[in-house]
A and B are shown apart, each in its own frame.
Chain A
């Protein structure tokens, strides 16, 4: 249902380009409703399994829902709904005709990805998602966006082929691609190490962990604002989700000592990403590039959970993922509003945005608060959990990273806000921003803050089906 709905929405949008906005919005609301339906079902009955076409695990395609995938589906639904409403007034008719079908395809791929229970299916959805995302980036037109899209496409194909080769090796050794069966059969052997290496490298490339982040800023910054929000909030997270899932369920069986050293490596890379992304973000002169580099930094935080590898750490990473998705949507949408208004996004020339677009700037500021990790935002809770995990596992030095990263974030957010209050020498023709676009950005930012106040709910949700193993008292 969750997959078919956006797919048919995409086809309808493709067939009836005149009524594309109406059809798209309709589908968006329908998807959101069915996600909530699934939420109620899972809350009621626990973990769900569904075999497509009645074929069971070893041969057929299976869908699987537990707390983690449900959380991802919810975030996707929430962000997707916001983006749909936002883009209904952002795109003009000629662009909208192309945007809606692609966006629906992307949504279908995301939902299928979060539901998939086998690693080959994950590959197919990963590719679908990548292709739709590339096409969306290219939508902006212009040489910059096209070059960004091309680079993104090549990187994403390289990443997924590495992943596929890893899948091939795993299948050869254990005769199955189902995650659960694999987890039972897996044992340590050189072929498995090679497969793990390939899969991890491919996914890191797609998640844009430092130093494999080079493709992200051009692609994210040159795309239209709603698309950048989608890419940062959801698409990058999808490949992280696969990595997290495999890491939790399949790889630990392979080899404990190797897992530890690989985890340390990922943590170090994450640390480097936090620093590098933060410093680069400070150096940017364009607003959207700044926000894109901030994504690079925030992805780094996600990987800090790997060396800790205890339950609190995983929870922290999921929480970070959640709050970053919301905050980054708000931030990109706010940046989109500012660009829409002034026609440019040079930070130095921001002309009294605070007075003219108060809602947008509040959205930007609130999202910034969550990214910095000030209480009571979602980002604060995530960092707090991460800190707790670091101390519990006796590796406190990861905690210092959180503080340094937070300071860097504060620096670049305040840089933007500072310029927003002053008037610049350059005057330009302002264009009125539809109220709907401003409110959506603000709503997302408020939700990111509210996450900090509603901690128990998402955390309880993740616990369903205990994807992180048995919980500690």
Chain B
């Protein structure tokens, strides 16, 4: 087991943690953070796998990660803005239960 593989495994672990937190917690800020943790996990996998050979690391996944970070930032910004609007409109920061329609 080399070091890149170890990082990749950590990435998968982060992703799983993120999914777990996304499902379990009700507070929206926690959900948004969970999504971010998931995203970091995926990026870690990409970067780690780029260094799989002995030579210079493969640049393409790095480009993908940068694109992914840009997307993640805008998504987070939108999510936070929505969360604030939701708090103003309904006075709580959890999603309403489905059954109470």
| Chain A interface residues (CB < 8 Å from chain B) | 59, 120, 123-124, 127-128, 131, 134-135, 138, 141-143, 146-147, 149-151, 153-154, 157-158, 161, 164-165, 168-169, 171-172, 175, 214, 218
Contact = CB atoms under 8 A, between A and B. Distances in A.
Contacts of B61: 168, 171
Interface of B: 15, 18-19, 22, 28, 31-32, 35, 38-39, 41-42, 45-46, 49, 52, 58, 60-61, 64, 67-68, 71, 74-75, 78-79, 82-83, 85-86, 89-90, 95-96, 98, 101
B82 A134 contact: yes
Given A138-B85, A147-B90, A165 B15 contact: yes
Contacts of B75: 127, 131, 153, 157
10 contacts: A120-B64, A127-B75, A128-B71, A134-B78, A146-B89, A147-B96, A150-B82, A153-B78, A168-B45, A169-B45
Contacts of B98: 214, 218
A391 B8 CA distance: 47
Contacts of A124: 67, 71
B72 to A, nearest CB: 9
Nearest to B94: A147
A68 B30 CA distance: 40
Given A143-B90, A151-B95, A164-B42, A131 B68 contact: no
Nearest to B65: A168
B30 to A, nearest CB: 11
Nearest to A135: B78
B82 A146 contact: yes
A171 B90 contact: no
B39 to A, nearest CB: 6
B35 A158 contact: yes
A138 B80 CA distance: 13
Contacts of B46: 168, 171
Contacts of A158: 19, 22, 35, 38
Which one of A131, A146, A168, A169 has the greatest number of beta carbons of chain B within 10 Å?
A: A168
Contacts of A168: 42, 45-46, 49, 61, 64
B63 to A, nearest CB: 9
A161 B35 CA distance: 9
A97 to B, nearest CB: 17
Given A157-B35, A164-B68, A172 B52 contact: yes
Contacts of A161: 15, 18, 35, 38-39, 42
B31 A154 contact: yes
Contacts of B101: 218
B99 to A, nearest CB: 11
A436 to B, nearest CB: 31
With a 10 A CB-CB cut-off, give which of B74, B82, B83, B95 has the most chain A CB atoms.
B82
Nearest to A285: B101
Contact of A147 (B39, B41, B58, B86): B86
B73 to A, nearest CB: 11
A135 B18 CA distance: 24
Contacts of B90: 143, 146-147
Contacts of A142: 89
A190 to B, nearest CB: 14
Given A146-B90, A154-B35, A158-B22, A138 B82 contact: yes
Interface centre among A128, A138, A141 (most CB of B within 10 A): A138
